[in-house]
Structure 1
Amino acid sequence: MNPDWSMDPSGDLRQIFEEDVMNFKKGIVYFPVRHHSPACSYHVKNVIESYKPEIILIEGPESATPLIDILADQATEPPVSLYCTYEQDGERSAYYYPLLSYSPEYAALKLGTERQIPIRFIDLDFRHQNRTEEERQVEASLQDETLLAGSEFMKRLCDTFHCRSFHELWEKLFEIPGTASTTTVFARNVFTYCTLSRLCYTDHELALSGDVEREVHMRMQIAGASRDYKRVLVITGGFHTYALLQRHIEGNAETLSHLSLPKKSTAAPHQPFTLQKENVMTEKTVVSDPAVTDHQVYPMVYTFAEADRLNGYASGMPYVNYYQMVWNEMQKHSTHPFHRAGLSFLAQLTRHLRNRNEAVSTSDAIEAYRMIQGLADLRGKREGGVFELLDASLSSFVKGEHTLASDEPLEQLARMLTGDKIGSVAPNRLSIPIVEDFKKHSMVFKLNLKVTAKHQKTLDLYAKPQHRRLSQWFHCVSFLVPNFAVRQSGPDWVAFKDMSLVRETWSYSYSSRIEARWIECSIYGGTVQEAAVRKIEQAAAEIPEHHSEKMVELLLQACLMGLEDMVHRLFDGVKAALLLDGSFLSLCRTLNVLNRMQQHTRLLGLSPDIRLPELIHEAFDQAVRQMLQLGHTHPDEHALITQSLKLLFMLSTASGERYDRETFRLHLDELLADNGLPAQLEGSCTAISVGLGNRSKEEIVLRAKGYMRGTPEKMRKTASYLHGVFAVARDALLYDDTLLMELNHLIAELPYEDFISMVPELRLAFTYFSPMEADLVAERVAKMLETDVEELDRPPVDEQLLQSARSMDQALREEFAKWSLT
């Protein structure tokens, strides 16, 4: 079904189109398009063939004009993109200008280059529009079609034609009948519908979007080209075409002021757009923005997944791979490109589902094919498009109710329709060294950058040197571009877990956004390793000189990345920070990292170096010197302090090491002499002092009695004390009944409310015991209570049942008393 002119009864738009848009007798021909539309590309090629322009002007960043030869090179394979970056008011922004093989702009680039026709981009390099802080953090598209797709006019058309979305409407009115229409009729329809969408917005709304300023700039470029060339072809988004017609802006501003949307019972959210001459921005009002600095444009690869409208891309159509196949059929001059594309995807889907052992028969596929044709006839379409394909697949391949469990056919079809292709850019003088170095190493390590799917690499860190080098490279890349590779399993150097594992698994996925991040990293160096070194140096310079914990994290990162020279330089930084660091916790965390590094020197690839043991001793001594400040610390830090004291204790008792144990003992004694020492830390210090041989085991029980048999306030701190003891010396409860008996006495004497409030802390304290140790404690408790362990495992009697039984017992006693029964 072809669109009609019912929305323009006066015929003003028809007249404007015939006189000023597609008038081959004039010096300028405007061809309105929708970005990434196969039908528009088909007719763009036709108009170039028939009009034979002397120059082609395309909506695109003007500073990218020198890159046209690269984009049109035979070695460049779409999807590709221009990556535009600039700084404005101190904030960095970026935009993409994607090109698919069926983008009208790319079709014009290719054909124009083949015919040796000069080509220029005429749009602004950046967009001035009001954006929220969140929007500034996300790269946008220079081809944003939000206003076109979201206009009130398009919404009403969707209702009129019973389409579920703007994309379905566009496919029905333009894509499917596109090749059957003449180029003039097709362009007229695109111009009409896009212009009527524009009329839904006020001047103020268009100015806020940045479109007005862009259109003024494009008019200036068109005017300049028209002075030098007799036949100028202008290819822009249909939403902008009317605004580019100079005569109607300057002389006939009121021509369309009476046009508005058809009236409905409810008012439209926007007032109709009217061109008031005093409100029109002209060339004289355009000034360059001095706040925009450091503007750059690069050619880069792009992906089908990123170009898909369903993945958040703001222009073009969804299901990129589907329309790529439609375009391929158009190039073969197929009379039914949508029919052939749908048949191909049905065959692929059926094959995939059978390989997955899904219950799909040949009759299901045949029925789906018939349904595509039937739905197309029912909906008044020349051929069945992608939405008929989706509906037919839902009906034929999803058995029973459509749920998450039965959604596999549609999920797979969606993946196929989107595709996973990554383009390539021809070698050129603008190649970014760090991007080339990244790709070269990816090739050496046999990483797949050809598709956007996630891939996995399992590395044997000890057995294969090449795997060790790849692990270091992955760490380098993750440090610079976090989204490319993610470690799935293996030694965890952040939480120090799974350190005994000898294999490491990484997942990685490549996309244009990864390449964009590499372009941004080019300021750090020409290779991945150089950039990593420079970024670490920058990070080290930003760390306060007394933060040893942050400095040692950088040291560990450099070790994981295999940056040996940087490691030796960071040793000096860590040592200097240790001497200035006055935080006990920070020093102990630094000590823990250094100790872990010494335990895994082979995994980290560290050469025997006397400096690492020296740093560990220095960190130990500095931490011990700061112990006396622990008497007045925040309760939230007590758990971390307990673990830090335990680390010092373990190192001080290690055989073959010469730590300052005497100072450690003296400071423990001073802490235990402090009556204000928090209960948890008192428990830890007491257990450590007993472990060092400074005190007898009885002191643990003696201090516990002080809590358990003390004042109510002291009794409430018993669980915290036990928490500290168990964190260091669980054997105090495992092999000595004295402490167990005292704990039993405490539980028996505590008021009910105090016991309930203490239960969470008691539970936490007992989490240090393994299941086997907990069973051993249970056996000793059962023996002490003269019962069996099985009795302890029985569920308690419900409290309400006990109360009911007690009430019943009391009632029976009273009744017996009345009858003098005993």
Structure 2
Amino acid sequence: MDRLTGKADQDVAQLRTLFESQVYNLNNGTLYFPIRHHSPVCSYHLLRLIEEYKPDIILIEGPESGNPLLDVLADEATQPPVSLYYTYESEEERAACYYPMLRYSPEYVALKEAARLGTPAQFIDLDYHHFAKPNKAEQREFSIQDESLLAGSEFIHRLCQQTNSRSFDELWENVFEISGLEKSTQAFTQDVFTYCTLSRMCYSAEQLHSTGDLAREAHMRRRIEQAGREHERVLVITGGFHTYGLLMSEHPEPDSAGMTLNDQVRDQNSIHQQMYPMVYTFAEADRLNGYASGMPYVNYYERIWTQLVRQKNSVYNVTALDFLSRLTHKLREGHEHVSTSDAIEAYSMVQGLAGLRGKREGGVYELMDATLSSFVKGELTLASDKPLQELHQLLTGDVIGKVAPNPFSIPIVEDFKERCTESKLQIRTTGQHKKVLDVYAKPDHRRQSQLFQCIVYLVPDFAKRQSGPDWIAQRDMNLVRETWVYTYSSRIEARLIENSLYGGTIREAATRKMEEEMKEIPDHHSGDLAKSMLQALLMGLQDTAMKLYEQVKSALQKDGNFLSLCESLHLLNRIQQHRRLLGLSEEEQLLNLVSEAYNHAVDKLMQLSRTNPDEHEAIVQGLKLLAMLADSSEEHFRDDTFRAHLDELLSDSQLPAQLEGVCIAISSGLGDRLREEIVDRARGYIRGSQEQTRQTALYLQGVFSVARDAFLYEDQLLSELNYLIEQLDYEEFIRMIPELRLAFTYFTPMETGLIADRVANLHQVDIEEMSWSSIDERTLIQTKTWDEALRKEFDAWKLI
């Protein structure tokens, strides 16, 4: 035990005595087996211990509410990684926890071995809500197998420094995972107990109380004592950090973290808790990905465990060879230049590094160092680290577990899996998958799109539309295909479980959730309600969408905002135009709703004279929509109200310039005003007061948004704009440039070229001269100096 430098020999001797008398004594009625969560070597020695000790019952650190699920976990049809998902909710807080199990987790190995031998097994830990302390009114998820105290103690920190270990994980692999294979089970268990206890001794009782560890240990201690009264041979499997606390009770805790019996009963009545068996993934179980406990590089240690179960020799060397072979193959598939000699050199280096570091075999850290040295050519950069990226993915793995059929299954989760299977979505492996859907041409693809929309509505993290028409945001509507990328994990299943309160199927849950959300929308927000109607249709919930009919109609009558009404009109009109694609057959109702939105938007036109400048761009789009519908062949839009209100607006001297421009352009396009009036009003701005002149660009923006031809093919407006530019002084010209440029963004490149031709003709110059580069400032100053000198000379000779 010379590695324990820094700890007093007396403390170590006391721990040795305690270990031999109370922890690992095969003659005792209770035997303690300290572990590190998800450690293959712990599971390896655990199997040997069970065979030798032959316990009457096995007690495991795990939430007691999970005991009804033990048969499901031990079922042959269950394929790890799996997890117990625990949720609790009270008036003050809400939280969720994971209790993951891998094929080589000691807890899972104990359950499987107990089932094989017919030995009873039980979880003995507190349910998580007794000691979890999330922020009030904040939901969060965590793993209760948290090893941050063990890995972050001062003892471990100094030990890593002394052994030149880069992390606790590297230290653990060296001391336990590799060296532990050649030790007896008793010697290995003693090392685990000693290391974990010395780490625990770095913390005060107050710290252990604040984390809930003392409360948990007091509870588990009572369960152990109870089992000891009922069975002759009890095997206790807990995290090594807790073993000492189970034996020593200098800091006894009241039941359930200080509560009286009445408090406990009252607490249980106020807490709503549930626990479900669910799938888990290698990626989520990897400690490097944010999971708080256990071993990193899950797939690597899964391979180690497989070799141990097969009782192979040199398991780490065999595993290193396997990973190097697969890495070489994968890199070659990616067209990386990797030779067989590189792989051979890497394998040789794994063994060489192991010898230099005093290890019997090279582990995962030697494998990574060898890959860096042999596969990365030159300096390690973002462009050259592909081998390390691929190795990390191989070490982590992409496996998703499977839970045996059981009465605890959640209907919505089963429906989700069934629907995904029907749609051929990949939910058996991790990683990002892609699905391209031709929603306009193929009914099956349209149904798959509806499934994606439903699931994303319930669980946004599942998928994302990478490209394709966005009906809600009104973007990319010219595209005919949708591309979805999706990723499945246990967190997706957890979110589905949370949504199970809405219904037993994806469709039912989405329907009820949407109906409840619609109740929260204020009854005058017609735009939000119309958006909900469209979203329901995209999810294939036609019945839900039509339930909104009366609610939307009522909101339109109460909505007094022009922009909100225009948004509603735009959405409703799009639904009406694409009703067959969206699965609607009732045309009359939709037409009435569109007409209702149109009439109410028109009635609000007179508000536009007193609007905020920040809203003008959106108002312009609303006016264009109304103009398009007013000019259509639809009978219910063909009245004179819109045109009459435009006339009134154009007579209002307070009408903002940009809105005046779009109104006169629309009125001219409808044939109600002469096109010459567009120029006349522009002339009024250009030749008016200084303040009016500054509004010219805004007026032109309004005109060009609807009637670009008024500038493209007629000379009067071009001449007036040319006059404006000639008359402006330098400072005013610079001030107006941004708005003028914005006005001309409405023109296409071809139209811009046509304008350039007309400007060249106006100034009687060749078109090529328009593209000449400007004179640099230095030349301009020099030329100006020469010009002044010549003028003085001419004046002296009286030549001017």
TM-score, normalization by structure 1: 0.93
Deviation at 1:668, TM superposition (A): 1.1
Check if 1:785 corresponds to 2:757: no
Q: Which moves more between the two structures, 175-184 or 458-467?
A: 458-467
Check if 1:72 corresponds to 2:44: no
Q: Could you tell me how far apart the structure 1 residues matched to 2:472 and 2:313 are?
A: 60
User: Which residue number corresponds to residue 776 of structure 2?
Assistant: 798
Q: Could you tell me how far apart the structure 1 residues matched to 2:441 and 2:477 are?
A: 16
Q: Which moves more between the two structures, 419-428 or 22-31?
A: 22-31
Q: Could you tell me how far apart the structure 2 residues matched to 1:817 and 1:677 are?
A: 54
User: Which residue number corresponds to residue 543 of structure 2?
Assistant: 565
Q: Could you tell me how far apart the structure 1 residues matched to 2:221 and 2:527 are?
A: 58
Deviation at 1:206, TM superposition (A): 2.5
Q: Which moves more between the two structures, 689-698 or 638-647?
A: 689-698
1:401-423 deviations in Å (ceiling 9; x for gaps):
11111111111111111110000
User: What SS class does the counterpart of residue 601 from structure 1 fall into?
Assistant: coil
Give the direction of change, closer, same or farther, for the CA distance of 1:624–1:820 in structure 2 (3 Å limit).
closer
Q: Could you tell me how far apart the structure 1 residues matched to 2:149 and 2:785 are?
A: 75
Deviation at 1:27, TM superposition (A): 2.6
Give the letter for the 2:497 counterpart.
I
Q: Could you tell me how far apart the structure 1 residues matched to 2:797 and 2:162 are?
A: 90
Q: Do the aligned residues in 2 keep the contact of 1:552 with 1:594 (CA within 8 Å)?
A: yes
Give the letter for the 1:491 counterpart.
P
Q: Do the aligned residues in 1 keep the contact of 2:94 with 2:134 (CA within 8 Å)?
A: no
User: What SS class does the counterpart of residue 769 from structure 1 fall into?
Assistant: coil
Q: Mapping of 1:466-505 within 5 angstroms?
A: 466-505=444-483
Q: Mapping of 1:195-344 within 5 angstroms?
A: 195-245=197-247, 248-250=248-250, 281-283=253-255, 286-287=258-259, 288=264, 290=267, 293-344=271-322
Q: Mapping of 1:673-712 within 5 angstroms?
A: 673-712=651-690
Q: Do the aligned residues in 1 keep the contact of 2:58 with 2:119 (CA within 8 Å)?
A: yes
Q: Mapping of 1:534-549 within 5 angstroms?
A: 534-549=512-527
User: Which residue number corresponds to residue 532 of structure 2?
Assistant: 554
Q: Could you tell me how far apart the structure 2 residues matched to 1:533 and 1:363 are?
A: 60
Give the direction of change, closer, same or farther, for the CA distance of 1:151–1:132 in structure 2 (3 Å limit).
farther
Q: Do the aligned residues in 2 keep the contact of 1:62 with 1:125 (CA within 8 Å)?
A: yes
Give the direction of change, closer, same or farther, for the CA distance of 1:36–1:284 in structure 2 (3 Å limit).
closer
Give the direction of change, closer, same or farther, for the CA distance of 1:707–1:815 in structure 2 (3 Å limit).
closer
User: What SS class does the counterpart of residue 729 from structure 1 fall into?
Assistant: coil
Q: Do the aligned residues in 1 keep the contact of 2:93 with 2:135 (CA within 8 Å)?
A: no
Deviation at 1:210, TM superposition (A): 2.7
59, 63, 72: which one aligns with 1:61: 63
In the comparison of the two structures, how many residue pairs are matched?
A: 791
Q: Could you tell me how far apart the structure 2 residues matched to 1:400 and 1:811 are?
A: 65
Check if 1:420 corresponds to 2:403: no
Give the direction of change, closer, same or farther, for the CA distance of 1:57–1:12 in structure 2 (3 Å limit).
same
Q: Do the aligned residues in 1 keep the contact of 2:219 with 2:256 (CA within 8 Å)?
A: no
Say what the alpha-carbon RMSD is for the aligned residues: 2.2
Which residues of structure 2 form unaligned runs of 5+? none
Q: Could you tell me how far apart the structure 2 residues matched to 1:540 and 1:808 are?
A: 76
493, 515, 531: which one aligns with 1:515: 493
Deviation at 1:605, TM superposition (A): 2.5
Q: Do the aligned residues in 1 keep the contact of 2:215 with 2:256 (CA within 8 Å)?
A: no
User: What SS class does the counterpart of residue 728 from structure 1 fall into?
Assistant: coil
42, 45, 51: which one aligns with 1:43: 45
Check if 1:583 corresponds to 2:527: no
Which residues of structure 1 form unaligned runs of 5+? 251-276
User: Which residue number corresponds to residue 7 of structure 2?
Assistant: 7
Q: Which moves more between the two structures, 463-472 or 554-563?
A: 463-472
User: What SS class does the counterpart of residue 19 from structure 2 fall into?
Assistant: helix
User: What SS class does the counterpart of residue 603 from structure 1 fall into?
Assistant: coil
1:270-297 deviations in Å (ceiling 9; x for gaps):
xxxxxxx5xx534486324838621110
Give the direction of change, closer, same or farther, for the CA distance of 1:708–1:44 in structure 2 (3 Å limit).
same
Deviation at 1:137, TM superposition (A): 4.7
Give the direction of change, closer, same or farther, for the CA distance of 1:209–1:814 in structure 2 (3 Å limit).
farther
Q: Do the aligned residues in 2 keep the contact of 1:421 with 1:452 (CA within 8 Å)?
A: yes
Deviation at 1:376, TM superposition (A): 0.3
Q: Could you tell me how far apart the structure 2 residues matched to 1:232 and 1:797 are?
A: 94
114, 118, 121: which one aligns with 2:120: 118
1:754-807 deviations in Å (ceiling 9; x for gaps):
222221111111111111111111111111122122222222222344234434
Q: Could you tell me how far apart the structure 1 residues matched to 2:623 and 2:256 are?
A: 73
Q: Could you tell me how far apart the structure 1 residues matched to 2:646 and 2:245 are?
A: 81
Deviation at 1:428, TM superposition (A): 0.3
349, 365, 380: which one aligns with 2:327: 349
1:165-196 deviations in Å (ceiling 9; x for gaps):
11111111111112211111111111111112
Give the direction of change, closer, same or farther, for the CA distance of 1:563–1:26 in structure 2 (3 Å limit).
same
Q: Could you tell me how far apart the structure 2 residues matched to 1:819 and 1:55 are?
A: 123
User: What SS class does the counterpart of residue 581 from structure 2 fall into?
Assistant: helix
139, 160, 165: which one aligns with 1:158: 160
Give the direction of change, closer, same or farther, for the CA distance of 1:91–1:778 in structure 2 (3 Å limit).
farther
Q: Mapping of 1:657-668 within 5 angstroms?
A: 657-668=635-646
Give the letter for the 1:204 counterpart.
E
Q: Which moves more between the two structures, 298-307 or 559-568?
A: 559-568
User: Which residue number corresponds to residue 265 of structure 1?
Assistant: none
Deviation at 1:497, TM superposition (A): 2.8
Give the letter for the 1:70 counterpart.
V
Q: Could you tell me how far apart the structure 2 residues matched to 1:627 and 1:746 are?
A: 31
Identity %: 58
Give the letter for the 1:225 counterpart.
A
Q: Could you tell me how far apart the structure 1 residues matched to 2:359 and 2:58 are?
A: 34
Deviation at 1:36, TM superposition (A): 0.5
Q: Do the aligned residues in 2 keep the contact of 1:546 with 1:581 (CA within 8 Å)?
A: yes
Give the direction of change, closer, same or farther, for the CA distance of 1:95–1:82 in structure 2 (3 Å limit).
same
Deviation at 1:821, TM superposition (A): 12
Q: Could you tell me how far apart the structure 1 residues matched to 2:600 and 2:615 are?
A: 19
User: Which residue number corresponds to residue 171 of structure 2?
Assistant: 169
Give the letter for the 1:232 counterpart.
V
Check if 1:765 corresponds to 2:743: yes
User: Which residue number corresponds to residue 395 of structure 1?
Assistant: 373
User: Which residue number corresponds to residue 587 of structure 2?
Assistant: 609
User: What SS class does the counterpart of residue 39 from structure 1 fall into?
Assistant: helix
Q: Could you tell me how far apart the structure 2 residues matched to 1:18 and 1:811 are?
A: 109
User: What SS class does the counterpart of residue 203 from structure 2 fall into?
Assistant: coil
Give the letter for the 1:611 counterpart.
Q
Q: Do the aligned residues in 2 keep the contact of 1:559 with 1:567 (CA within 8 Å)?
A: yes
Q: Could you tell me how far apart the structure 2 residues matched to 1:440 and 1:805 are?
A: 81
Deviation at 1:677, TM superposition (A): 1.3
Q: Do the aligned residues in 1 keep the contact of 2:576 with 2:587 (CA within 8 Å)?
A: no
Q: Do the aligned residues in 2 keep the contact of 1:2 with 1:177 (CA within 8 Å)?
A: no
Give the letter for the 2:723 counterpart.
H
Q: Could you tell me how far apart the structure 1 residues matched to 2:224 and 2:611 are?
A: 72
User: What SS class does the counterpart of residue 271 from structure 2 fall into?
Assistant: strand
Q: Mapping of 1:591-602 within 5 angstroms?
A: 591-602=569-580
Give the letter for the 2:258 counterpart.
V
Q: Could you tell me how far apart the structure 2 residues matched to 1:818 and 1:399 are?
A: 78
Deviation at 1:19, TM superposition (A): 2.0
Q: Do the aligned residues in 1 keep the contact of 2:92 with 2:136 (CA within 8 Å)?
A: no
Q: Could you tell me how far apart the structure 1 residues matched to 2:777 and 2:201 are?
A: 73
Give the letter for the 1:63 counterpart.
S
1:243-302 deviations in Å (ceiling 9; x for gaps):
111xx323xxxxxxxxxxxxxxxxxxxxxxxxxx5xx53448632483862111000000
User: What SS class does the counterpart of residue 406 from structure 1 fall into?
Assistant: coil
Q: Do the aligned residues in 1 keep the contact of 2:631 with 2:638 (CA within 8 Å)?
A: no
Give the direction of change, closer, same or farther, for the CA distance of 1:285–1:640 in structure 2 (3 Å limit).
closer
Q: Which moves more between the two structures, 338-347 or 488-497?
A: 488-497
Give the direction of change, closer, same or farther, for the CA distance of 1:742–1:122 in structure 2 (3 Å limit).
same
Give the letter for the 2:511 counterpart.
V
User: What SS class does the counterpart of residue 45 from structure 1 fall into?
Assistant: helix
